[in-house]
């Protein structure tokens, strides 16, 4: 079973995020309180697998959930292999739709500056929120379409 292991926010874009354990995903907007939340935007929420973070740890880099500015850290699902348009069910009622795989880090990206390398450009995904609700560490996440 794949699951959410952290829920993270930041007040500024391009910075590490702090694990808040649970949060509210607002339909077609994002994670309430996060700098990336924006109505109508295709990158309302970012996800990164802990397995991707573990790759960085094996290189000797001290990183953990939220350090790559992801909102949701997952375990047990290879996120970057999901096609655009894939829908995910989180918990009992949250529906997310994959809109982008990876991203180009902007010049001077704080994560790259702090960590020296970033996995988000290749392994992070972005989604829009089709149906919102409360999300928390431990919630199941699965592909539904």
How many Å apart are CA 44 and CA 10, to the nearest integer? 13
Is residue 20's pLDDT more than 80? yes
**pLDDT tens figures, 39-67:** 888 989 999 999 999 988 887 878 899 98
Structural domains of the chain, count: 1
Residue 48: name the closest of 94, 6, 105, 90 by CA. Answer: 6
CATH of the domain at 20: 2.40.33.20
pLDDT digits (tens, 9 = 90+) for 60-111: 878 899 988 899 999 999 999 999 999 999 999 999 999 999 866 555 555 5
Q: Cβ-count burial of 64 within 10 angstroms (0-12 exposed, 13-18 middle, 19+ buried)?
A: middle
The predicted model scores a pTM of 0.90
Dihedral in degrees, nearest 10, Cα atoms 120, 124, 130, 133:
-80
Q: Residue 14 sits in which domain range?
A: 3-143
């Amino acid at each position: 079973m794949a699951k959410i292991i952290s829920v993270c926010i930041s007040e500024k874009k391009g910075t590490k995020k702090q694990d808040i354990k649970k949060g509210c995903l607002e339909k077609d907007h994002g994670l309430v309180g996060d700098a990336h939340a924006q109505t109508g935007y295709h990158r309302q929420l970012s996800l990164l697998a802990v397995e991707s973070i573990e790759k960085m740890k094996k290189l000797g880099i001290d990183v953990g959930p939220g350090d790559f500015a992801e909102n949701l850290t997952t375990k047990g699902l290879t996120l970057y292999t999901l096609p655009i348009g894939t829908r995910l069910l989180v918990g009992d009622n949250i529906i997310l739709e994959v809109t982008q795989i990876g991203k180009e880090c902007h010049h001077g990206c704080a994560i790259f500056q702090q960590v020296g390398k970033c996995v988000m450009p290749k392994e992070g995904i972005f989604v829009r929120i089709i149906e919102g609700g409360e999300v928390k560490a431990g919630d199941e996440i699965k592909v539904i379409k």
